[in-house]
């Protein structure tokens, strides 16, 4: 794309530019593969070694790195270089991506009684059911499904092939990625039996899903509707791909879950929590604010104290693992043998 | 919605109504948030404390709770209150949801040679291939895909954007949620190599998927077609979201799997089994009837005895976990040291 | 389907046919359920017992099994019977499946500026955006989404309802199964705060996804686009269903991942690696060529030595597991007690 003057970027990001404001860059890239047309950044000191040798046309750094960066060449010194980088990517994307076409694509199917704001965009082959509402500037991608009486807030973006089921609501400035399903039935059944045998009787899920503002939901992630009341995601929640949120779950504001996290029904998660990839949170428990769960950890009871919690089985070469795993299955007896010996020793003294 | 007389609900659910049959309720809700227009229920004694203070217009309870409930106000006493609640939700949903439009939506694409029953509904932008069969009263949601020679039984509901691949069959009264993929290729490859190196040679999956009656399948769940014969789900199976069923798997009747469960190829699961969220069942093994697998447990060998099986790594605060995990990797040597000491002690006595 | 002469199959697979070349078979099946019209195979000696009793019209075996097979009846002796079986399934599928219709289905939406090869097939209700390129003989299934400037190589097959996002590329002879999402945004946010509190600031994902030739991607699998550069899958990679590949990940040629595997951002995986179902690979680490990861294992640091690595918690009946899990949380103290006793014993001697 066309080059951008460093002076313009300095003004945009509000940092101190050290170097020629007339120089231009035409891409953003990592330090190691950068060239003179690349603006790069250094936020993690771990990568400082890459700074000196980088061929970047400009590097965004924090005050602590000012000297090292300036010694190398043009630098943009920002209070928080990682945040400045995030803002730069946003500006860059807005500048380079084509704007969505306002209005309803002729191939889309919009049922009577759907209310679509004049500034919204409805993509090709999308479906919008009766009673649904699409807000100002919202962008509904091709092949998206919006169910009856569902609502999409101002400026929210539903990528191609999202499903927002009947009666479910998402607020403003949200992003939902392709394949996500919002509002499938929660997994609820009552055990039943008669002389012929036992079966599962369906509990119809009469609640919905209520999602706040500034929420991002990953590809093929599922958020089930509540059994009687709504499943809730508060403002600023961020979910990665292939995440499962069971019915009646409540996720507090600004909580973020990485890929493949599963949250069972009726769990109540606090604000500003995080969970690493593949973590599982069992149902009907409470997690307070500011709890951080390590990847692949299973949370099997409530947590009332902020902090980091872990439960990953340490991997090993297969032979060592097999020996340890075999012993693990007898851990309890090991403990008893130990106690027995402690007793025996005491008797000796 | 319009109120319902308690007398009508009593007759519907076949319980004993204690209170004024002319009173009405207009929603179903939990005990704690109930108001005078709410009918609620108590099945788990754990929540009995909520009963006395509940403002519910009526509470469904079992015989054991009769006295406590009646002391509070109107009650509907049923032999199995949870089952009665399930039936109530079904009646409620049938009453409040709009009926699907019978016939083929003009925007749907139905290939020549597809047989669609006159009472079936084919939604907007759905695709039905040649040779496919859709039974009486079946509801095919918008944007659904039904492949060649596939079959959908009477009264089965495919939610928006389901894929039922070529030659796959689902029985009567089933529910498949959005994004589910039935009949993708199983994961089968033969290792091949020549002087140039090694690669994976595809084994075409020539089987299909055969699903019984009264089966429910969750959002974005995948059920692979068999390699040579069919992958089978028997009657009454219930699968939650994001479940993976590998090729040639056989799941017995009325078995239920929670979200994110994965079953590897050719596993044979019995009837009336359950698996908690994130459990994994390895391939080519057998699990007998009435086996219950705890969440996040990995089943690595066959199980021939009914019961509960578990294998969750207990989580802990990060510091404690790190110490224990480090020790775990030396568990085998610990055991040997213990044995050595036992010997040493013996020699002393 | 119509019968096939054993002589024809012998010529096709290049093995030695022992038996009447004029005999015909009309299906491929496993040894135990085979009849006279079935051609079966034996590659795993574990199933040799089934050979003698099999009613198969012909059995594909390796040289070692020649005698046993011939004693039973017609046999096709191939150097690598499993590979021969794979080739047979490919020939069988090509013979029995209907050919896709070349050209663009009238219900598909193809934006101006998309380049579609004259021999390609674009299915019903598919969407192809401006600037996208579809190669010779490529088959784009019904309801597929191809974003702006994306590219599909020669002979590649996108099954119904795949999403290939803007600017993402897949090479030749690939297969992508239904529901897969290629090119959703990677999960990238910068922490931000002001006097009002903390939130996550989006890092726009400016990279794409670059996929080589002969790659197969499973149903509902997600491959995120890179933050600045591309996420890369080299030639011959095979991914099963519900796999998550984070942004900036690099997967080496001919590596295969089973269902529900998750790979966090910026991990670099070597060539000819495998991971069993549900394995998790954390971010920013390196795994060398020829590493094999057991199912449900969490890889938490780099691996520089080829081999098998495992970390599965061994399951047990619930009661035994509970006792061992409780002890596990005190493993570190057990170790200290053991050390203390060893000291005590030394002092005694």
Rounded Cα–Cα distance for residues C68 and C83 (Å): 20
Rounded Cα–Cα distance for residues B211 and C286 (Å): 42
For chain A, what's the residue count? 349
The chain C residue lying nearest B298, using CA atoms, is: C315
Mutation test of the interface with chain C: which of B311, B329, B344, choosing the one with the most C Cβ atoms within 10 A? B311
The pLDDT value recorded for residue C82 is 96
- Residues in A closer than 8 angstroms to B98, CB to CB, are 148
Rounded Cα–Cα distance for residues C295 and C23 (Å): 43
Mutation test of the interface with chain A: which of C311, C332, C338, choosing the one with the most A Cβ atoms within 10 A? C311
* DSSP H helical ranges for B97-175: none
- Prediction pTM value: 0.97
Q: Does position A284 have pLDDT exceeding 70, yes or no?
A: yes
The answer to whether A224 and B106 have CB atoms below 8 angstroms apart is no
Give per-residue pLDDT as tens, B285-307: 999 999 999 999 999 999 999 99
- Residues in B closer than 8 angstroms to C178, CB to CB, are 145, 163, 165, 181, 184
Beta bridge mates, C200: C191
A139: tokens are 């962008």
Give per-residue pLDDT as tens, A209-224: 999 999 999 999 999 9
Q: Which helix (H) or strand (E) holds C319?
A: helix C318-328
Nearest residue to A60 (alpha-carbon basis) of A122, A133, A7, A10? A10
Separation in Å, CA of B238 to nearest CA in chain A: 8
pLDDT one digit per residue (tens) for chain C, 349 residues: 679 999 999 999 999 999 999 999 999 999 999 999 999 999 888 888 899 999 999 999 999 999 999 999 999 999 999 999 999 999 999 998 888 999 999 999 999 999 999 999 999 999 999 999 999 999 999 999 999 999 999 999 999 999 999 999 999 999 999 999 999 999 999 999 999 999 999 999 999 999 999 999 999 999 999 999 999 999 999 999 999 999 999 999 999 999 999 999 999 999 999 999 999 999 999 999 999 999 999 999 999 999 999 999 999 999 999 999 999 999 989 889 888 888 888 777 5
Interchain pair C204, A89: CB under 8 A:
yes
The side-by-side arrangement of strands in the sheet containing A58-61 is A16-18, A75-77, A58-61, A38-41, A27-28
A347 confidence band (pLDDT: 50, 70, 90)? confident
Interhelix angle B81-96/B6-13, rounded to 10 degrees, is 120
**Sole residue written with tokens 């769990």:** A267
The pLDDT value recorded for residue A1 is 63
- Residues in A closer than 8 angstroms to C184, CB to CB, are 159, 177-179, 218-219, 241
- Residue B40: partners with Cβ closer than 8 Å, 6 or more residues away: B28, B29, B30, B31, B34, B54, B56, B58, B59, B60
The answer to whether A182 and A200 have CB atoms below 8 angstroms apart is no
Interchain pair A260, B258: CB under 8 A:
no
Strands A189-194 and A197-202: antiparallel
- How many Cα atoms within 13 Å fall on the side-chain side of residue C323? 12
Give per-residue pLDDT as tens, B98-142: 889 999 999 999 999 999 999 999 999 999 999 999 999 999 999
Burial (CB < 10 A; 0-12, 13-18, 19+), residue A22, is: exposed
Q: Which helix (H) or strand (E) holds B53?
A: helix B48-53
Q: Least CB-CB distance to C98: which of B148, B224, B320?
A: B148
Rounded Cα–Cα distance for residues B293 and C294 (Å): 20
Burial (CB < 10 A; 0-12, 13-18, 19+), residue B118, is: exposed
Write down the catalytic residue from A117, A247, A250, A292. A247
Measured at the CA of B313, the angle between CA B307 and CA B314, to 5 degrees, comes to 100
Separation in Å, CA of C31 to nearest CA in chain A: 33
**Subunits with 3+ C-beta pairs closer than 8 A to C:** A, B
Query: What are the backbone angles phi and psi of residue A110, rounded to the nearest 5°?
Result: -115, 115
The answer to whether A113 and A129 have CB atoms below 8 angstroms apart is no
3-state secondary structure of A180: coil
Q: Does position A120 have pLDDT exceeding 80, yes or no?
A: yes
**Subunits with 3+ C-beta pairs closer than 8 A to B:** A, C
Overall average pLDDT of the A103-123 stretch: 98
Interchain pair A300, B312: CB under 8 A:
yes
* DSSP H helical ranges for C167-243: none
The chain A residue lying nearest B310, using CA atoms, is: A329
Interchain pair B160, A143: CB under 8 A:
no
The answer to whether C292 and C273 have CB atoms below 8 angstroms apart is yes
Interchain pair C190, A86: CB under 8 A:
yes
Task: Count how many pairs of residues, chain A against chain C, have C-beta atoms within 8 Å.
Answer: 229
Interchain pair A335, C328: CB under 8 A:
no
- Residues in A closer than 8 angstroms to C314, CB to CB, are 325-326, 328-329
Q: Which helix (H) or strand (E) holds A201?
A: strand A197-202
Nearest residue to B181 (alpha-carbon basis) of C258, A179, C145? A179
Handedness of CA C73, C75, C81, C86 (dihedral sign): negative
Give per-residue pLDDT as tens, A235-283: 999 999 999 999 999 999 999 999 999 999 999 999 999 999 999 999 9
Task: Count how many pairs of residues, chain A against chain B, have C-beta atoms within 8 Å.
Answer: 229
Nearest residue to B166 (alpha-carbon basis) of B127, B123, B137? B127
Mutation test of the interface with chain B: which of C90, C222, C240, choosing the one with the most B Cβ atoms within 10 A? C240
Structure letter (DSSP) for residue A144: -
Interchain pair A280, B272: CB under 8 A:
no
Q: Which helix (H) or strand (E) holds C211?
A: strand C209-211
Separation in Å, CA of B156 to nearest CA in chain C: 21
Interchain pair B143, C142: CB under 8 A:
no
Q: Least CB-CB distance to C277: which of B148, B200, B264?
A: B264
C331: tokens are 């493993």
Query: What are the backbone angles phi and psi of residue B128, rounded to the nearest 5°?
Result: -125, 120
Measured at the CA of B272, the angle between CA B269 and CA B278, to 5 degrees, comes to 60
Beta bridge mates, B299: B281
The pLDDT value recorded for residue C104 is 98
- Residues in B closer than 8 angstroms to A299, CB to CB, are 315
The pLDDT value recorded for residue A349 is 59
Give per-residue pLDDT as tens, C28-73: 999 999 999 999 999 888 888 899 999 999 999 999 999 999 999 9
All residue ranges of chain B with pLDDT < 70 are: 1, 349
- Residues in A closer than 8 angstroms to B123, CB to CB, are 127
The chain A residue lying nearest C337, using CA atoms, is: A338
Q: What is the dihedral of CA A322, A323, A329, A332, to 10 degrees?
A: -160
Query: What are the backbone angles phi and psi of residue A308, rounded to the nearest 5°?
Result: -100, 130
- Note the Cα C146 to chain centre separation in Å: 22
Beta bridge mates, C316: B310
């Amino acid at each position: 794309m066309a080059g951008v003057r460093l002076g313009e970027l300095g003004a945009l990001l509000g940092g101190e530019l050290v170097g020629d404001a007339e120089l231009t860059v035409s891409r953003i890239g990592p330090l190691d593969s950068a060239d003179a047309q690349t603006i790069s950044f250094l936020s993690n000191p771990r990568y400082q070694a890459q700074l000196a040798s980088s061929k970047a046309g400009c590097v965004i750094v924090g005050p602590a790195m000012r000297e090292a960066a300036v010694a190398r060449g043009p630098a943009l010194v920002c209070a928080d270089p990682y945040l400045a980088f995030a803002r730069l990517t946003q500006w860059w994307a807005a500048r380079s991506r084509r704007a969505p076409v306002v209005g309803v694509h002729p191939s889309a199917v919009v049922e009577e009684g759907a209310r679509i704001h004049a500034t919204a965009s409805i993509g090709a082959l999308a479906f919008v059911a009766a009673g649904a509402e699409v807000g100002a500037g919202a962008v509904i991608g091709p092949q998206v499904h919006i169910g009856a009486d569902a609502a999409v807030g101002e400026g929210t973006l539903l990528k191609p092939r999202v499903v927002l089921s009947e009666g479910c609501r998402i607020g403003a400035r949200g992003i939902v990625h392709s394949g996500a399903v919002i509002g499938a039935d929660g997994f609820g059944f009552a055990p039943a039996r008669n002389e012929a045998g036992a079966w599962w009787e369906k509990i119809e899920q009469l609640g919905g899903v209520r999602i706040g503002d500034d929420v991002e939901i990953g590809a093929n992630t599922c958020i089930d509707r509540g059994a009687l009341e709504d499943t809730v995601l508060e403002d600023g929640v961020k979910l990665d791909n292939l995440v499962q949120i069971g019915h009646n779950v409540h996720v507090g504001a600004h909580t973020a879950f990485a890929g493949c996290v599963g949250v069972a029904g009726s769990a109540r998660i606090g604000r500003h929590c995080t969970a690493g990839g593949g973590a599982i949170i069992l149902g009907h428990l409470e997690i307070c604010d500011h709890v951080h769960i390590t990847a692949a950890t299973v949370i099997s009871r409530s947590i009332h104290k902020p902090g980091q919690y872990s439960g990953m089985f340490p991997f090993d070469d297969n032979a060592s693992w097999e020996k340890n795993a075999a012993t693990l299955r007898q851990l309890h007896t090991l403990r008893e043998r130990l106690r027995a010996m402690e007793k025996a020793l005491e008797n000796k003294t």
